[in-house]
Structure formats: structure tokens, C-alpha cells
Structure 1
Amino acid sequence: MFELIVETDFSAAHNLREYKGQCERLHGHNWKVQVVLKAENLNKLGMVMDFREAKTILGEIINTFDHAYLNELPAFKVLNPTTENLSQLLYHELKSKLPAGVMVGRVTTWESDRCGAVYFE
């Protein structure tokens, strides 16, 4: 199994519904996202996939979240916009856009330098 890692970042605001504490109030983060993509076999160029293509796909997804109020996005009308739920949402968005033979290994999302969440299946 081979793994490829790409990272990006974005800024967004949110507030946690039904949370008792500071995070119940509107606040923002400079989020960081790390994605691990994996494949059992390399393509004809000897890659899981081109880094540029992986970053482009991730960038198109992240563009939806960048400088947004997460609570207003359709997925977070139902789900609480936690770091865990964001990681899961990004995982499934990526999974639907990757070429054949490339799988999402895991998505790690940090809301700060010291706090993050991982989603994988």
C-alpha cells in the first residue's frame, strides 16, 4: 500500500449548538487539513496520483469552507460544525472525487495548533 499526503488551510467561523461554554459563541479558526490518500498500486508514472491533481481536488472542496460561516452551509444545518464532523464531511467529499484506484486513508483537521480530529473508515 502506498500513501500520499497533502495539506492545506483555510479560515472559517462557527459556533457549536447546544454546547455549554465559550465555543457556543461565534468564533473563528485558521483551520489546517491533512489528507492521506492511498493506493495498492502506483499509476503508470509511479505515483498514487499527481500532487497537483490531489491539491486541486482538495482546494475545490476547501473553497466551499474558506471564509465561510460553517453553520450556514447545508451539511451543518443538521450536523453540529465540530472538527470531527468537518473531518468526516471532507473525507466523503474527497472520496466522491478521486480517480479509480485512489482511496482516502484519513482526513485530519486542526482547529488550532494543538487540537484536531481524525476521520477514517
Structure 2
Amino acid sequence: MPGIYEVYIKDYFAAAHVLKGYDGDCANMHGHNWIVEAYIQCTKLDHLGIGIDFKDVKNAVTDILSKLDHSFLNENPAFENINPTSETLSRFLFDKLSQRLNTEHIKVKKVMVLESPGCGSSFQEA
């Protein structure tokens, strides 16, 4: 029966940011222990029954996050002209991860970013 498999991983990083133009405390520099969840869809399994190895997804996410960990996100070139919000960060990570993992049968479906447990956003293509 045709179908779509979904692989999921969770990772973490710590970073600070400032929300320029925000009317409130978040206009000041502050940090989060960000939680990142990545969902990858696979339409085909290999001879072992694997769509994409968890290790491959985890390594890609860890490598991308290592460039953000313990940084000031506003100084990252990706956020020169936009605030590094949960929303823009989820899009940034979605794009980076898609560049690394997408193939004919493997596609990044969604990336969720939480600033704190129970508070965050996600990005997926329409």
C-alpha cells in the first residue's frame, strides 16, 4: 500500500537574540534554550526498511545548530534584515535542512522551534 513515512528528531541549542522594534522586554537582549523538532517524510524505504537513517537527520540538524549554539542570533548574516524570531528561525532551519536532505523520496516536511517548553512556532511549505 502506498503511503508516506515520517521520521522525527529533536535537538537543542542555546542562543540569545533581540527583537528590534518590539514593545516590551524582548526588545532587550535575552536568551533561550531553543528546542528544535524536524519532521522528514519518506515515500520509499531501502532494503532494510529505512526511509532515512535517524543518524543522518540528527547529524545534519546538529551540524546546522552548532553554527547557532551559544551565539547572538542577530549577528548571524541570515538575520541581518529580519528579527530572529521563532518563526523566522523555523524557516531558516527548514531551508538549511532541506538543502542537505531533500531527494526524490525524502523531503523535509516541517521544522518546529520552541523558545521554551510549550511556546514556539513551525514552518512548512504550503
Structure 2 CA distance for aligned equivalents of residues 34 and 84 of structure 1: 13
Q: 1:10 aligns with which of 13, 32, 36?
A: 13
Question: Aligned-pair distance for 1:102?
Answer: 1.0
Structure 2 CA distance for aligned equivalents of residues 44 and 25 of structure 1: 52
Alignment of 1:10-29 (within 5 A): 10-29=13-32
* Residue of structure 2 equivalent to 1:33: 36
SS in 2 for 1:9: strand
Structure 2 CA distance for aligned equivalents of residues 113 and 95 of structure 1: 25
* Residue of structure 1 equivalent to 2:93: 90
Question: Aligned-pair distance for 1:99?
Answer: 5.0
Structure 1 CA distance for aligned equivalents of residues 81 and 48 of structure 2: 42
Q: 1:106 aligns with which of 103, 110, 126?
A: 110
In structure 1, runs of 5+ residues without a counterpart are none
> What is the letter of the counterpart of residue 118 of structure 2?
R
Map Cα deviations across residues 37-70 of structure 1 (whole Å, 9 max, x no partner).
Answer: 0011112321121111110011110111100100
Q: Give the TM-score of the pair, scaled to structure 2.
A: 0.93
Aligned length: 121
Structure 2 CA distance for aligned equivalents of residues 78 and 45 of structure 1: 45
Structure 2 CA distance for aligned equivalents of residues 68 and 22 of structure 1: 19
* Residue of structure 2 equivalent to 1:55: 58
Map Cα deviations across residues 8-56 of structure 1 (whole Å, 9 max, x no partner).
Answer: 0000000101111000000000000000000111123211211111100
Map Cα deviations across residues 63-111 of structure 1 (whole Å, 9 max, x no partner).
Answer: 1110010000001111111000000000000000015221011001000
Structure 1 CA distance for aligned equivalents of residues 64 and 96 of structure 2: 7
Structure 2 CA distance for aligned equivalents of residues 70 and 30 of structure 1: 13
